[in-house]
Structure 1
Amino acid sequence: MSDNQLYESHPPEERIEEQIEILKKHETFVYAGFWMRLWAYVIDLIVIWSINGLVIYPIFRLFNLSLDNTSFFSAITITTTITFYAYFVLMTKFFQQTLGKIIFGLKVETIERNKLDWATVLFREVFGRYLSVTIWLLYIVIAFTKRKQGVHDLLADTTVVHERNAYLIQKQA
């Protein structure tokens, strides 16, 4: 039997169902590990830095506002902090992923596979991320948990999975 005959004998729907069965036998999701998530986060930081550089800082210069960020409560510090958290909250709520996660094919899911609600997203992306950003070592927890969860994931009952596997499971349901 040639490769084409073998390929034609198993239509795409059957191959997808086979992949879904394999995933169900294991843990349903393929969790995103520390390094994948780190690189996605680095890309997100570059995106946020770009937003600040292309939008926030020019507005401050246009209105002749101080760009001195030596104070924790300076206008520029507060504004760029709002940009940081707003980016993660809005992208996670509306797309279940940030641009960094999109590039690497990752997606935020709840442990119970429910739709992400505002409370979960706000708790994960504001409170949980604040803890993780304040104490960088907390990100290392991702490398040692069964579901590759960071502290912010553990607090919000979420995890980050490879998007293709999540898509296959949802399509089957």
Structure 2
Amino acid sequence: MNETMVGYANATPVSEQRYAGFWMRFWAYVIDIVVITSLNGILLSPFKFVNDGIAISVGIWTVTGIVSSIVYFAYFLLMTKFFGQTIGKMVLGIRVIREDEEPLRWSDLFFREVIGRFIYRVFNFLMILYIMVGFTNQKQGLHDMFANTRVVYDR
């Protein structure tokens, strides 16, 4: 029997994952914010030449605010879905996985990257909950718990 198997006939392999802690994830996020800010700078610079540089409003929101929010959420959602990691995570050698190590699903990532991040952004005082990553056994934030995901070191 394989040494990664537990002593039962229909046992599943036990993976030995190293979970990424608070500081690795923090620095990955900082890198991602630099990337997103750069993307927004490229995408939003034409708006400076429209309407004499005055922000175009759609109800209570500005067009640039809407576009920058879409870029923010789409970046995290699409990068994590297609690569399992954002550019910041790639640089630091960490990735997002499901708890059961199956491929990431859109529903997992929607809860993790859109709902979780939306909650943190709307209720700024909840940002303090990111500190949970440093104190949970599997280094999970609240958004990881919503989606049953983990952030681990790449092998």
Whichever of the two has the greater Rg, that structure is: 1
Q: Deviations over 1:28-57 (max 9, x none)?
A: 1000000000000000001000001122x2
Could you say which residue in structure 1 is the equivalent of 2:84? 96
Could you say which residue in structure 2 is the equivalent of 1:157? 148
Could you say which residue in structure 1 is the equivalent of 2:25? 37
Could you say which residue in structure 2 is the equivalent of 1:146? 137
1:78 equivalent to 2:66? Answer: yes
Runs (5+) with no aligned partner, structure 2: 6-13
Q: Deviations over 1:38-91 (max 9, x none)?
A: 000000001000001122x2231244464479x961111111011100000000
Question: Quick one: distance in 1 between partners of 2:17 and 2:61?
Answer: 42
Question: Quick one: distance in 2 between partners of 1:72 and 1:30?
Answer: 45
Could you say which residue in structure 2 is the equivalent of 1:128? 116
Secondary structure in structure 1 of the residue aligned to 2:18: coil
Structure with higher helix content? 1
* TM-score (norm. length: structure 2): 0.82
Cα offset for 1:98?
0.2
Question: Quick one: distance in 2 between partners of 1:72 and 1:150?
Answer: 31
Secondary structure in structure 1 of the residue aligned to 2:61: coil
Identity rate, percent: 44
Question: Quick one: distance in 1 between partners of 2:40 and 2:99?
Answer: 33
Question: Quick one: distance in 1 between partners of 2:140 and 2:71?
Answer: 24
Alpha carbons of structure 1 residues 40 and 29: separation in structure 2 relative to 1, 3 Å: same
| 1:66–1:76 Cα contact (<8 Å) kept | no
Runs (5+) with no aligned partner, structure 1: 1-17, 165-173
| 1:34–1:142 Cα contact (<8 Å) kept | yes
Amino acid at match of 1:61: K
Question: Quick one: distance in 2 between partners of 1:68 and 1:145?
Answer: 44
Once the two structures are superposed, the pairs formed by residues 8-87 of structure 1 within 5 Å of their partners are: 28-55=16-43, 57-64=44-51, 66-67=54-55, 73-87=61-75
Alpha carbons of structure 1 residues 27 and 141: separation in structure 2 relative to 1, 3 Å: farther
Moved over 6 A (4+): none
The alignment of Structure 1 onto Structure 2 pairs a total of residues equal to 141
| 1:132–1:151 Cα contact (<8 Å) kept | no
